[in-house]
Chains A and B, each alone.
Chain A
Amino acid sequence: GNSVTQMEGPVTLSEEAFLTINCTYTATGYPSLFWYVQYPGEGLQLLLKATKADDKGSNKGFEATYRKETTSFHLEKGSVQVSDSAVYFCALSASGYSTLTFGKGTMLLVSP
């Protein structure tokens, strides 16, 4: 079946540090890949997405590249801010399905 594996947290960084959160997936066909972010006390919101191999999604300084050869979609940001502290979820939508498969989430804590 379809699955998403992402690194466990929490990830603790100082402000302006470089961020990488790893995400790998298992799916048949050509899934779409997503990163969602959840701020404390809120619902999930889309951060970025990529719908085909080698696409790069980007938003608010975050980037992720759809790598089919390594089945990965790692999230990166060059310089994190305290306001980036949140839980980040990697997800996929596989061919033939309307549903998303989520990873378990990675908490990011950024200190000043």
Chain B
Amino acid sequence: NAGVTQTPKFQVLKTGQSMTLQCAQDMNHNSMYWYRQDPGMGLRLIYYSASEGTTDKGEVPNGYNVSRLNKREFSLRLESAAPSQTSVYFCASSTYIFATSGGKGDTQYFGPGTRLTVL
């Protein structure tokens, strides 16, 4: 099992350029997530997909779009990159535990990250 894979590992963009970050998981998880990590800010959720065919905004969605291509793949797109989007981006996946008392997410498994610099 490769777990969660992300491409590319590093990327440098100029302001206004666009790019797509790719993420794939081979654990048959139904939920997938995109985070950004900035110094002193911890991890902030950008978008997530609780199940195939659904996507929802997280804490910091502005400037990003996502596509849940199938159960395995979840991509993050920057349409017009800005220097404020310089960050390390992590993709994660998990199962969702259903329960009569209210389901909740299980352990999230993270990819190795993409380090993005916008000049």
Give CA–CA (A32, B107) in the complex, Å: 9
Say whether B74 faces chain A, with CB atoms less than 8 Å apart.
no
Residues of A within 8 A of B43 (CB): 44, 89, 102, 105
Q: Are A98 and B41 neighbours in the complex by a CB distance under 8 Å?
A: no
Residues of B within 8 A of A77 (CB): none
Q: Are A98 and B50 neighbours in the complex by a CB distance under 8 Å?
A: yes
Q: Are B96 and A98 neighbours in the complex by a CB distance under 8 Å?
A: yes
Residues of B within 8 A of A36 (CB): 110
Say whether B25 faces chain A, with CB atoms less than 8 Å apart.
no
Determine the main DSSP class of A at the interface with B.
loop
Residues of A in contact, count (CB < 8 Å):
25
Say whether B65 faces chain A, with CB atoms less than 8 Å apart.
no
Q: Are B90 and A44 neighbours in the complex by a CB distance under 8 Å?
A: yes
Q: Are A45 and B110 neighbours in the complex by a CB distance under 8 Å?
A: yes
Closest 10 CB pairs of A and B: A95-B102, A43-B110, A104-B42, A93-B105, A98-B105, A44-B110, A96-B102, A98-B50, A93-B104, A98-B31
